[in-house]
Amino acid sequence: MANFVLSLHASPSDSDACLSLLNFAKAALSAGHAIDAIFLYQEAIWHASEHFVIAKDEVQLNEQWQSFVDDAKTPLLLCITAAEKRGLDVKNTGPFTVAGLAEFAMSVAKADKWIQFK
């Protein structure tokens, strides 16, 4: 079985990219693969913002993230550089753990595959 690292680059307003990542991750885990980490980079850091409001008739991505992390126990890593560059409060990131690009690079180096969702 393969070990994956996934990265998300799309903001919460692009729910298709996020849902594609979550669906892939769930399918991979169900097939016996491992997801070593999910790294949020570029505009994806807004998934960790408590101020990003999604309309009630749209997919509530914050609930999707919390459900995934509760079930899968996969680390959700938030790029500290991208977050600080955009003024995100890195002390309140919900289910996401602040991490650097070096940590992401080490995870990718150990994984069998890295897949980006944009």
Q: Which tokens hold the place of 5? A: 């690292």
**Which one from 79, 82, 99, 111 is the annotated catalytic residue?**
79
CB-count burial class (<10 Å; 0-12, 13-18, 19+) for 88: buried
- The answer to whether 18 is a known catalytic residue is no
Q: Residue 89, Cβ neighbours under 10 Å: how many?
A: 12
Say how far apart CA 52 and CA 116 lie, in whole Å.
22
Could you list the active site residues? 79
